[in-house]
Amino acid sequence: MLEVWSLPFMQRALLAGLVMALLAGYYGPFVVQRGLSFLGSGLAHAAFGGVALGLLLGLEPLWVAVPFTAAVALGITWVRERTHIRGDTAVGIFFAFSMALGIVFLSLKREYTAEAFTYLFGSILAVAPADLWASLALLALTALTLPLWGRWAYATFDRELAAADRVPVVLDDYLLAFLVALVVVVAMKLVGLLLVAAFLVIPAAAARQWARTFLGMVVGAVLVGTFSVFAGLLISYGYDLPSGATVVLLQAFVFTAAALVFRRAS
């Protein structure tokens, strides 16, 4: 069975999946602990509006979706910071607006395009070198944020105290929203719009069942993501199943097992 890793497309899929496991494991705990799990789904649907605009203009959809989704993420954060509207409500507003734009853009493109369905359902086995380079570039950008991790974690658990200690919590909110938007766009090409939020949330939620510290939650989320990518690719290849969906189902299985085991243990 291990000979499948000699196939170039499986090697690219594995590398891209492992990079996404690292990214989702790094940002997912912030999303989960801040109660923003709906944000991943909202940004994925917002990214579809950018993809549709790229297809309409005849441009590379990924490069149009990146600024489009980043703008939506910053808009959601602005509404949360400057109005009395709750975060989930702001996400819902932008979610609906972006999807409506995407539908309009696709309707204006008269000829049929199958590429839109690639972004809806994803295909990690068909990952292109450009997609792989995009995910590696995002991983490098994330590495530059490591010095900020401590204050992000501080504000995640006690925002008011962090603000009192002069931590720039509002600036960090915008920065985190921007980076999560980038992760969502890149992951959407791999696992699809319909599953990208699960990839961002489920590993972190599973790790939360046993982790005693926030750092432990991050490490656990990375491990869950890594295991699900490796095993999911093998299972999907061996049984001819959709790869992205198989990976996410494995993550859900790990979450369910962790919830049952640690619930009984407590």
> Which one, of 46, 61, 55, lies nearest residue 181 by Cα?
46
Is 70 exceeded by the pLDDT of residue 41? yes
pLDDT tens by residue, 167-204: 999 999 999 999 999 999 888 877 777 678 888 899 99
Q: How far apart are CA 118 and CA 192, in angstroms?
A: 7
pLDDT tens by residue, 229-260: 999 999 988 888 888 889 999 999 999 999 99
Q: How far apart are CA 38 and CA 60, in angstroms?
A: 27
Look up the CATH number of the domain holding residue 24.
Answer: 1.10.3470.10
The b/e string for 21-50 (b: 16+ C-beta within 10 A; e otherwise) is bbbbbbbbbbbbbbebbbbbbbbbbbbbbb
Is 60 exceeded by the pLDDT of residue 264? no
pLDDT tens by residue, 124-140: 777 888 888 888 999 99
Is 90 exceeded by the pLDDT of residue 143? yes
Counting the structural domains of the chain, the total is 1
Q: How far apart are CA 19 and CA 204, in angstroms?
A: 16
Q: How far apart are CA 20 and CA 28, in angstroms?
A: 11
Q: Which domain holds residue 106?
A: 2-265
